[in-house]
Amino acid sequence: MYKQSKFNLYFENGGVTFLYNSHTGVFVTLNKEYQDSFEAIRNKNFKNIPDQHIEKLKEAGFIVDENTNEYQIYEYLTNKSKYSNDYLGLTIATTLQCNFRCPYCYEDHMDSYFDEDKEKNLVDFVFKNLEGKRDLSITWYGGEPLLQLDMINRVSKQLIEKCTEEKINYHFNMVSNGYLLTRNVAEHLVNENKIESVQITLDGGPKTHNMTRILRNGKGTFNKIMDNIKEICDIIKVNIRVNVSQDNIKDVHELFPILLENDLNRKVSVYFAPVTSHEGSCQSVTESCLRTEEFSKWETELINYADRLGFDMGKLYPSNLGGSVCTAVSDNTLVIDSNGNLYKCWNEVGKDHLKVGTLSDGITNNERYFNWIGWSFPNKCYDC
Which of 68, 99, 115 lies at the terminal end of a domain, its last residue?
68
Report the distance separating Cα 107 and Cα 98, nearest Å: 10
Whether the pLDDT of residue 344 is over 90: the answer is yes
Position 149 confidence tier, pLDDT thresholds 50, 70, 90: very high
- The predicted model gives 235-258 an average pLDDT of 91
Is 354 inside a domain boundary?
yes
Q: What is the per-residue pLDDT across 51-84, written as a single tens digit (0 to 9) for each?
A: 999 999 999 999 999 999 998 988 898 899 899 8
Kindly tell me if the per-residue pLDDT of 374 is higher than 50.
Answer: yes
User: Backbone dihedral region of 179: left (phi > 0), alpha (psi from -120 to 50 degrees) or beta?
Assistant: alpha
Give me the percent of the chain exceeding a pLDDT of 70. 96
Residue 10 has pLDDT above 80, yes or no: yes
Q: Which of 71-75, 113-117, 278-282 has the highest mean pLDDT?
A: 113-117
Q: Are 58 and 97 contained in the same domain?
A: no
224: in domain: no
Task: Looking at the structure, tell me whether residues 90 and 153 fall in a common domain.
Answer: yes
- Residue 137: inside a domain: yes
For residues 328 and 372, the answer to whether their CB atoms sit within 8 Å is yes
- Helix 51-60 / helix 32-42 crossing angle, nearest 10 deg: 80
- Which structural domain range is residue 28 located in? 2-68
Bin 47: left if φ > 0, else alpha if -120 < ψ < 50, else beta. Answer: beta
Q: pTM for the complete prediction?
A: 0.89
Residue 34 domain-assigned? yes
Q: What is the pLDDT of residues 287-343, one digit of tens each?
A: 445 677 888 888 999 999 999 999 999 887 777 777 788 889 999 999 999 999 999
* Average pLDDT estimate for 272-301: 67
- Check whether residue 91 and residue 59 sit in a common domain: no
Inform me whether the pLDDT recorded for 375 exceeds 50.
yes
Mean pLDDT confidence for 221-249: 94
Of 23, 41, 68, which one is at a domain's C-terminal end?
68
Q: Does residue 348 contact residue 354 with C-beta atoms inside 8 Å? A: yes
